[in-house]
Structures are given as structure tokens and as C-alpha cells.
Structure 1
Amino acid sequence: MKTKRVIVTEKAAAVITALKEKHGELMFHQSGGCCDGSAPMCFEKGELMLDDNDVYLGSIEGCDFHMSRDQFEYWKHTQLTLDVTPGIGSSFSLEIPMGIRFLIKSRLYSEEEAEHLEPIRIGI
């Protein structure tokens, strides 16, 4: 069985479901720090233009999850967990008007997990 690079909590999954009902298909990009530190950003699918510097990490709740190639170099040894917390971030992410924000928790892979990672895709 392949080890997922990004997973989602039940609370975050419920928020994604609500956002999909309102906005349709969604995508995520792990921000590199411009607006709200290093925060996961949720957009309508196609709203954020991706390029050859972006890495596809996998799908969560039917939504593609990406981050920049440079940032991936720092995070490639960790599994990311998308979660939500009360509060308003200073970003353009779709959940902000709900009074919550997505956040990422990370942990290092075990040796066994690292041997079975899902493949990444670089570029669009």
C-alpha cells in the first residue's frame, strides 16, 4: 500500500465538503509565506495558475494539493495533515469568511512509509 503524502482530518473534510457545495471543484496550494506565513490555501480549481515549479502531492477529498518545488525540498520527508482551526487568516483562501482557517500539521515518515510513498508530479 502506498503512503499518502497529504491526508485530511474529519473536521477539515467537512469544511471541504461545504466549500465544494458553494464553489464547485477546489484545489489546494501550500503557501510559501507571502500573505499568511506557510499556510495551505484553498481556491476554486484553476483559480491559481500552476507552472513547472509546482509539485502535485496528491488528492484530498477529491481536491488536488500542490506546493512549490523549492518548498517541497524542505517538506519531502514529512506527511502533511490538513486540519482547521478557529480564527481568521490574512489570505485569499476560501474558508476565511467562515471564521476558520486551514493549517498543516506534519510528521516525519517512518522508514517503511518512506519506502512506499505515492509518486509526486512536477509541473502542470
Structure 2
Amino acid sequence: MVARVLITAAAAALLNQLQERHGPVMFHQSGGCCDGSSPMCYPDGEFIVGDRDVLLGVLDVGPDGVPVWISGPQFEAWKHTQLIIDVVPGRGGGFSLEAPEGMRFLSRGRVFTEAENAQLHTAGLITGADYARGARPAGRAPVVAEAADACPVPAGAPGISGAGGPRAPVIS
């Protein structure tokens, strides 16, 4: 089964550090406004998940994994996109746990193929209401070495290649 969300090894390493300091954590993919559309990292339970929020997956980081949520309306706009949570130097969102670390989480994206969309459609979704009733995903979302491993950019794509070679497009 294709995962709706992945995390890079560098982002997973930072997430492990944050879990050591703060205990279990979660992500909520921000929909904009003050913090752009960054994945916001909170101590688990400090951000109230709404009944219509959608669980994109549970990242395979830490003993309990890290759930990644998105609002229902935003999911409808992004349901065709796999999110890859990555990390770069810079100041994170004001409310996100990585803000004081000199790093910031960001979302990169890859559009699902038609076959992947069909597979995901049959798999169904877990909403906040389902989660409150005990629904959980069957497995965990994997860690990838680099964002480009999950989301390769064709060589020579305008405005995307840089000193480090091809990079996955940034959503936030």
C-alpha cells in the first residue's frame, strides 16, 4: 500500500530528539495563515484533532510512531498528493516544537499516479472521529533517506535544481 505521508531520515532524526525532550509528538499539516502550510509538530494531545481531520499516517519514528493529521477540507484539496516531511535550516513555525532548534520542518509533495489514487480510494480514511472510536492504520509510514528518493525531480527542471542537485518540490 502506498503511504500518504513519508518522512526523510534527517527529519526523523530531529523528531527523535524532540520526542526525547517532549515525549510523544504529533504533526498537523497547517493550512496556511501565520505559519504558511508547514507541518506543525506538537506534543501529542496539545493540538485538538477535529472529528473531520484526516489521519495521513503514523510515521515510523519512535516507539509509538508519530501521527500526521490534516484538516478535512485541506485533505480534499491535497488528497492526490503524497506528503514528504523534510527538514531544512531556518526558523520553524512559531508554535511548532522545532522552532528553537534552528531547523524547520517542511512538506514536499508528489502527485500520486492514477493507480495509487485508486488503491488509496479503496483503502478508506481514518478521521478524527474514527480515531476517537479506536480506529488505527494497519502499518506505519516509512522513513526515506532523502525527499528525492520518494519524489524525484526530472533533471533540468527549471528553478528546482540547485547546488545540491535535484530537489523535491516544496509545498510550504
Higher relative contact order (CA 8 A, sep 6+): 1
**Partners in 2 of 1:86 and 1:10 — Cα distance?**
15
> Is the 1:77–1:114 Cα contact (8 Å) retained in structure 2?
yes
**Partners in 2 of 1:85 and 1:58 — Cα distance?**
22
Please give the root-mean-square deviation of Cα atoms over the aligned residues, in Å.
1.2
Q: Determine what percentage of the aligned residue pairs are the same residue.
A: 50
The gaps in structure 2 that reach 5 residues or longer are 130-172
SS of equivalent residue, structure 2 residue 15: helix
The gaps in structure 1 that reach 5 residues or longer are none
Displacement of 1:54 in angstroms is 0.9
The aligned counterpart of 2:118 is 115
Which has the larger Rg?
Answer: 2
State how many pairs are aligned: 123
TM-score, normalised with respect to structure 1: 0.93
Displacement of 1:80 in angstroms is 0.4
> Is the 2:55–2:67 Cα contact (8 Å) retained in structure 1?
yes
TM-score, normalised with respect to structure 2: 0.68
> Is the 1:3–1:114 Cα contact (8 Å) retained in structure 2?
no
Q: Structure 2 counterpart of 1:19, which letter?
A: L
**Partners in 1 of 2:24 and 2:8 — Cα distance?**
19
**Partners in 1 of 2:72 and 2:41 — Cα distance?**
18
Partner deviation per Cα, 1:68-89 (whole Å, 9 max, x = no partner): 0010011100100000011113
The aligned counterpart of 1:72 is 75
**Partners in 2 of 1:35 and 1:11 — Cα distance?**
25
The aligned counterpart of 1:91 is 94
> Is the 2:11–2:85 Cα contact (8 Å) retained in structure 1?
yes
The aligned counterpart of 2:9 is 10
Displacement of 1:36 in angstroms is 1.0
The aligned counterpart of 1:27 is 26
**Partners in 1 of 2:124 and 2:15 — Cα distance?**
24
Q: Which has the higher strand share?
A: 1
Q: Structure 1 counterpart of 2:43, which letter?
A: E
2:100 is the alignment partner of 1:101: no
